[in-house]
Amino acid sequence: ALCRIREGVIKKGENVMWMKTDGTSERVKISELLITDGLERVPALEAGPGDIVAIAGIETITLGETLADLEKPHALPLIIVDEPSISMTIGINTSPIAGQEGKLLTARQVKNRLDAELIGNVSLRVLNTERPDTWEVQGRGELQLAVLVEIMRREGFELTVGKPQVVVKTVDGKLQEPMERLSIDIPDDYLGVVTQLMALRKGRMEQMVNHGTGWIRMDYKVPSRGLIGFRTEFLTETRGTGLLHHVFDGYENWNGEIRTRLSGSLVADRRGTVTAYAVDGVQERGVIFLEVGTEVYEGMIVGENSRTEDMDVNIVREKKLTNMRSSGADDANRIIPPRLLNLEQALEFCREDECVEVTPKHVRVRKTILDQNERARNVGRAKKVNQNAE
């Protein structure tokens, strides 16, 4: 554990009083004491006020607890960490092409890595789910969780990551959601488009200041779920010139539905390799996410549909070769460059029935249910339930 010495001296092998957050105390021994020397930690016999040291001998000590003198134990004020506001599921890779790129593939390895992260990252929580190979990870923001997934990806893990969701709670029978206080600085040319973006995300403007220098400061109060995917869209609309930061601002009653993505998905209907001939026919339907030659499987999302519904497409279709020559046989396929998604963009794009496959070499968006017939049956059952409810 890392700690900062407020007063007094701590020595290796010394017995101290461990004062816990629940009000209890326990006598423990400092078995090892390390101090920082440059970029390294070196053993030391003692350390004094102001030193930041690493100690061993207390396995379950947590943030905010105090190590005090045995004769005059006095607990320091507790350090309060904000409650998690965003969660997403992390589990093993369940795609048909799992195991081809990573070296850490099992549920036990994923769980051990998440448990190790909890030791040094006190703002995270890991909860069990209905599936033994999937866990719900809660944190303070979308970026924090994306950084954790990116680190695990570079370590060699293959993961299936769910869409980020807000952590809600019920107070006095009413559903409440986390809120954020958002500050935006933009050139005044983009005032209209940013105001429109915030209106779609249920943002309430509380203050606007025109500095008279071509820049405007706007303060909003917005639901945390309204900020999922907002950063990328904000930077795109402001051509990279906008600045924003936000902080947690408590809970409020549920603000209603927020639809941040109105388009559907282009979903591969079979396994194979993407061909230029197939892309030339499919790209009229929307934006393609993959390059020619990429391996795909049934249920994998290959693009964004220009319409609101999902569309199953054959992205691996090859041109039939015959001995008959047609007038357009030698026309070259005009392929529009694809929009390649990174991890954050993939998490922002996926809907409730979609997830992200993360491997050391690729980030793929896919349907949670890969079989198109099973997805169609689920949609039919959902419509029937809604009709009965009405």
Domains annotated for the chain, with CATH where assigned, are: 2-68 (2.40.30.10), 169-253 (3.30.70.240), 265-320+329-385 (2.40.50.250)
* Cα–Cα dist 165/136, whole Å: 10
- Give the pLDDT confidence of 135-160 residue by residue, as tens digits: 999 998 888 899 999 999 999 999 99
The pLDDT score that the predictor gives to residue 233 is 83
Model pLDDT, residue 232: 80
The CB density around residue 74, as the number of other CB atoms within 10 Å, is 11
Closest CA to 36 of 28, 47, 27: 47
Say whether pLDDT at 364 is over 70.
yes
Residues 6+ apart with CB under 8 A from 381: none
pLDDT of residue 41: 86
Q: Which residues lie across from 122 on neighbouring strands?
A: none
Report the DSSP pairing between strands 265-268 and 311-313. parallel
Q: What percent of the chain has pLDDT over 90?
A: 23
374, pLDDT greater than 70: yes
pLDDT in tens, 87-124: 999 999 999 988 888 898 899 999 999 998 887 788 88
Asked if residue 149 lies in contact with residue 157, where contact means CB atoms within 8 angstroms, the answer is: no
Per-residue tokens: 79: 């350090």
Distance, in Å, from the CA atom of 390 to the CA atom of 386, rounded to the nearest integer, reads: 6
Short-list 60, 82, 74, CA closest to 6: 74
Position 36 scores a pLDDT of 84
Helices (H), 129-283: 142-154, 191-200, 230-237, 276-282
Distance between CA 277 and CA 332 in Å, rounded? 9
The rounded distance, in Å, linking the Cα atoms of 75 and 26 is 12
Q: Are 136 and 124 in contact (CB under 8 A)?
A: no
123, 63 contact by CB (below 8 A): no
State the pLDDT confidence band at 323, using cuts at 50, 70 and 90.
low
For 224-285, where are the E strands, in sequence order?
Answer: 243-253, 265-268, 272-273
* Mean pLDDT taken over the chain: 86
CA distance 298 to 71: 68
CA separation, residue 104 to residues 111, 290, 313 (Å): 11, 25, 32
Inform me whether the pLDDT recorded for 332 exceeds 70.
no
Q: How far apart are the first and last CA of the chain?
A: 56
Q: pLDDT-derived band of residue 25, with 50, 70 and 90 as boundaries?
A: confident
Query: 78-83 long-range CB contacts below 8 Å, 24 or more apart?
Result: 78/21, 81/122, 81/123, 82/123, 82/140, 82/248, 83/167, 83/178, 83/248
SS3 (DSSP) at 243: strand
φ, ψ for residue 236, nearest 5 deg: -65, -45
Give the H/E segment covering residue 101: none
Per the CB < 8 A criterion, the answer to whether 230 and 164 are in contact is: no
Looking at residue 324, what is its pLDDT? 65
pLDDT at residue 389 above 70? no
Looking at the chain, the whole-number percentage of residues with pLDDT higher than 70 is 96
Euclidean distance between CA atoms 341 and 152, whole angstroms: 18
d(CA 231, CA 245): 10
The pTM of the whole model exceeds 0.85: no
Among the listed residues 94, 86, 87, 84, the one whose alpha carbon sits nearest the alpha carbon of residue 356: 94
Distances (CA, A) of 173 to 25, 223, 250: 37, 19, 17
- The Cα 133–Cα 116 span in angstroms is 17
What are the tens digits of pLDDT across the range 83-96?
Answer: 888 899 999 999 99
Quick one: average pLDDT of 332-342? 82
User: What does the pLDDT average to over 119-131?
Assistant: 86
